[in-house]
Amino acid sequence: MTCRDATRKLAALGCVEIPRRRGTSHRTLLNPRTQGLTSLPDWGGRDLKLGTLRSALRQLGLDWRTFQNA
């Protein structure tokens, strides 16, 4: 799953993307319900590693199964 796909799913779950500063290579996301904050590397078309994605979900306070069903 690419960063773009993950960001779309997280937006469907209520997370908000914080605007980038000076062209960084990461997307910063905030979960307003839990105040969890994380960043996802934006590698273009390359897939994110599973551990990276699961760690980001944990930081946002989201469950893996909820993310998969979004």
Which residue bears the tokens 């937006």? 11
Q: What is the pLDDT of residues 33-67, one digit of tens each?
A: 999 999 999 888 899 999 999 999 999 999 999 99
> Which carries the bigger pLDDT value, residue 21 or residue 46?
46
**What global pTM score does this model have?**
0.87
Decide which of 1.10.940.10, 3.40.50.300, 3.40.190.290, 3.30.920.30 is the CATH code for 3-69: 3.30.920.30
Sorted by where each begins, the domain ranges of the chain are 3-69
Total Cβ atoms within 10 A of residue 6: 22
State how far the alpha carbon of 10 is from the alpha carbons of 22, 27, in Å.
23, 12
Q: What single-letter amino acid sits at 29? A: L
Q: Are 40 and 7 in contact (CB under 8 A)?
A: yes
- Phi, psi values for residue 50, rounded to 5°: -60, -40
- Residue 66: partners with Cβ closer than 8 Å, 6 or more residues away: 13
